[in-house]
Structure 1
Amino acid sequence: MSTDTVEPKRFEGMGRFVGPVGVFVLFIGFWYFTHHVLMSGPKKPLVPVPHDVVSDSFLTWNIERGAGGSRTGGGLVKLLEGLFESVQVAALGLAIAIALGFALATLMSQAKWVQNALWPFLIALQAMPILAFVPLIGTVIGFNFKARVMVCIIIAIFPIVANTLFGLLSVDRGYHELMTLNGASRMTRLVKLQFPAAMPSIFTGLQISAGLSVVGAVVGDFFFRQGEPGLGRLINLYQNSTAYEQMYGAVVMSALLGIAVFVMFGWIGNRIVGSWHEKRSS
């Protein structure tokens, strides 16, 4: 391999690392600047410095602190408990959204009248703010675990349907004609042609929906307050008890969870789509 080929790849690999690190350093610097310069004296506790957030939320295993005589559990153990609850809600909601999304997209790709009938309602579901559904969901289902899962489904289903449908309908007409010449059935065409060709679009939708399912879990937990508290309730709890270091820690934990699921589905997609393309080209 020539040095002309090695050098660009080396710089590309460095860019993938240096870029995010540089932006992260700038973000932390702006955080400190906000606390020390932009916030006035009485408001400084509202934006605690990053090292206090890390110390109270991630480097302390368990603390008890409260306002007005109340005792509020905190520290890493409480964040991990909240993370576990939010992961359960997000995972179940995403799984149901994937199953429903694939089913709807498949039906819509096979019958134009189904697509025309369902598409306006899916767009309306996506366009309406999720907070508008909160009172309705709570009244019908109850303010419990099921309601939080329902919020995840509502938020996460549209990207799955939209991207899967786009992939299924974007197969080159020439491949369809080849299938027709070979007498392939509709099911054979769907399984052996459309779904494999739609994989890149499908995993793009899964990445988006995976991140949105975390948003749904946090938002749903913030409003539906029965059962074990997840990250959303911890954010609200710490805000009410003025434990701002721990509140920011819960927000950071939510962001890390969203990044983790986004990266995980991206990795799975690259493995599956990459191997499929390699088989096609070989």
Structure 2
Amino acid sequence: MTQIVEAAAATPAAAPEPPVRRQRTWIATVWPPLIVLAVLLAVWTAASSLLGDRSFLLPAPHRVFTEGLFDPAVFPEILAALGQTSLVAFIGLAIAVVLGVGWAIVMLQAKWAERSLYPYAVILQCIPMLALVPLIGFWFGYGVPARVIVCVLIALFPMVSNTLFGLQSVEKSQQELFRLQHAGRWTTLRKLQLPAALPSIFVGLRTSAGLSIVGAIVGDYFFRRGTPGLGSLMSAYTSRLLAAELYASVVVAALLGVAIFVGFGLLSKVAVGRWYDATKA
């Protein structure tokens, strides 16, 4: 094992990217989505104006902010609901990450374990969640625990599938090298398979993070006890035909999902970006 560590340490680090190239990359990344956003807002405004007296069904973008998000009476309740939804989503995501990685590691140990357990992960993904939500309420009540369970069930499969894919993608030559060094199964998993699977794990993590937001909103939409989240607000705004407030809550939920996705993307670059990008160059 000493030779392996020394060989890894002797690998030259990737050369830093020039500032001009980083700036061009940033511009090429940011501008296309902004252009698409401008087009979507223009189409949205035109469609709202064409509705005439029925424009309350699709309020113009500026009304979503003036009458919804930035309204002194609406903003505090949306902010409080955002905090509750974020709390439920992060708890559910943390549980899904632990269960998903553990599930994948168990299936990695033997083919019979994978054949026995993986079909149930697929079945869990294919079951309509709206059919399970009433049952979850019957079994676990209608508070925060039930919302967390919905998050876990929705966010679990990407972690299982991506982690298993990453663990199984280790090159055979590297595995043979560890066998020649008489490395045990736990050592191989800890020093080879898990580090090699990190890019796939982070892909699953970003996907599951977005799904956890969906799970928190779906659970809150049906389980309305305790502190209301974004799902409860959406239901209340829909029943009162408050379109601007409803669209504002949807925009906040979308921005939360984007922020979490970008955050885990940055974390992925910090954790594996340098050596992973160097190997793909």
Specify if TM > 0.5: yes
Q: CA RMSD in A?
A: 1.9
> How far off its partner does 1:6 sit?
8.4
Q: Structure 2: which amino acid aligns with 1:21?
A: L
Paired with 1:191 and 1:274, the residues of 2 have a C-alpha distance of: 19
Segments of structure 2 that go 5 or more residues without pairing to the other structure are 1-17
Q: Structure 2: which amino acid aligns with 1:121?
A: Y
> How far off its partner does 1:12 sit?
3.7
Q: Which residue of 2 aligns with 1:26?
A: 39
Q: Which residue of 2 aligns with 1:72?
A: none
Segments of structure 1 that go 5 or more residues without pairing to the other structure are 64-74
Paired with 1:257 and 1:48, the residues of 2 have a C-alpha distance of: 22
Q: Which residue of 2 aligns with 1:193?
A: 192
In structure 2, relative to structure 1, the CA distance for the partners of 1:10 and 1:276 (3 Å cut) is closer
Q: Structure 1: which amino acid aligns with 2:39?
A: L
| Conserved? CA contact 1:171–1:194, under 8 Å | yes
Paired with 2:278 and 2:44, the residues of 1 have a C-alpha distance of: 48
SS at match of 1:226: coil
Aligned residues: 263
Paired with 2:129 and 2:260, the residues of 1 have a C-alpha distance of: 21
In structure 2, relative to structure 1, the CA distance for the partners of 1:146 and 1:7 (3 Å cut) is closer
> How far off its partner does 1:7 sit?
7.6
Q: Which residue of 2 aligns with 1:60?
A: 71
Q: Which residue of 1 aligns with 2:135?
A: 136
Q: Which residue of 2 aligns with 1:211?
A: 210
Please, which of 13, 24, 28 is the counterpart of residue 15 of structure 1?
28
Check if 1:176 corresponds to 2:175: yes
Paired with 1:239 and 1:148, the residues of 2 have a C-alpha distance of: 21
Output the TM-score relative to the length of structure 1: 0.89
After TM superposition, the structure 1 = structure 2 runs for residues 89-238 of structure 1, keeping only pairs within 5 Å, are 89-238=88-237
- CA deviations 1:59-118 (Å, max 9, x no partner) are 222x2xxxxxxxxxxx11111000010011101000000111111011111122111111
Paired with 1:261 and 1:7, the residues of 2 have a C-alpha distance of: 28
| Conserved? CA contact 1:57–1:79, under 8 Å | no
Please, which of 47, 68, 82 is the counterpart of residue 58 of structure 2?
47
Q: Structure 1: which amino acid aligns with 2:56?
A: P
Paired with 2:22 and 2:166, the residues of 1 have a C-alpha distance of: 31
SS at match of 2:220: helix
> How far off its partner does 1:14 sit?
2.2
SS at match of 1:133: helix
Output the TM-score relative to the length of structure 2: 0.89
